[in-house]
Amino acid sequence: NEISLQQFENLPFVRSLFFRYNLNFSPPNLPAVLVADGAGTSNVSLRAPNKLNTDQRLLLFHYNLKFYDSNVNAYDGCDLKRFVMQSTTSCADASQFDLVHFRIHLPCSGDFLLDIFAHETTRNEYLRGKPLKFKSVCKWKIIAPQSNSIMVPLPECAGGEWGPEKARRLFFMRPLTHQEPIVNHSLMTSSPTLKISFKL
């Protein structure tokens, strides 16, 4: 289908690996420049195959967040990556695809650059500790005109995906109790003990 010059210029920046890995945007009309809401929140989702071919090769994703037009990737001494939650869910319309979500909660106003990386691997390569060489597949400019909320960074831990899906893909661990990366547990109405169960 033909598109106008303005539509072309509004497309997100992608590299050749984006097409090699059969990635898509969700929704398909995701623009190149995103504007965060008043709370500094923005979301990016990719539609990705959960298996690349018959030899069961998998895609792993990672990301980087920094201030636009600079190499500064920290705010108030905190790595900006801790203000992004990456997670994966299965596509409702096609079992061979996953949705990879990046929930961005910017800590201040300004212009930011979100760069998303992918790496092709197998379970055996991952378990043997083969080095992961992530390569950029797409990127966005995110504008936060203002921030009316105080954003608390995610806990400082190993970077990457939150939630049970990575364990399911790599270790065949099926979540029995909690399917999402965020667990809401109120001490006012619930037991102080939280049980999260998997099946191997």
> Is 34 in the same domain as 88?
yes
> Is 30 in the same domain as 71?
yes
**What is the domain range of residue 190?**
164-200
Which pLDDT value is given to residue 159? 76
> Is 129 in the same domain as 191?
no
- Tell me, what CATH number does 81's domain have? 2.60.40
pLDDT, tens digit (0-9, with 9 covering 90-100), for 140-174: 999 999 777 788 899 888 778 899 888 888 888 88
> Is 122 in the same domain as 189?
no
Which pLDDT value is given to residue 92? 62
In whole angstroms, what is the distance from residue 47 CA to residue 66 CA? 24
Q: Total domain count for the chain?
A: 2
Confidence band, pLDDT 50/70/90 cuts, at residue 53: low
> Is 177 in the same domain as 132?
no
What is the full DSSP assignment across 56-69? --EEEEEEEEEETT
> Is 129 in the same domain as 190?
no
Q: Residues 128-141: what's their mean pLDDT?
A: 92
> Is 55 in the same domain as 100?
yes
> Is 48 in the same domain as 132?
yes
> Is 30 in the same domain as 117?
yes
Which pLDDT value is given to residue 111? 97
> Is 49 in the same domain as 74?
yes
> Is 108 in the same domain as 192?
no
Residue 7, pLDDT > 90, answer no
In whole angstroms, what is the distance from residue 100 CA to residue 151 CA? 22
Paired tokens of 97: 């695809």
> Is 175 in the same domain as 108?
no
pLDDT, tens digit (0-9, with 9 covering 90-100), for 43-52: 999 999 877 6
In whole angstroms, what is the distance from residue 88 CA to residue 127 CA? 20
- In the block, tokens 């930011």 appear at 112
- By C-alpha distance, which of 55, 59, 57 is closest to 86? 59
Q: Where are the alpha helices (DSSP H) in 96-178?
A: 123-127, 165-171
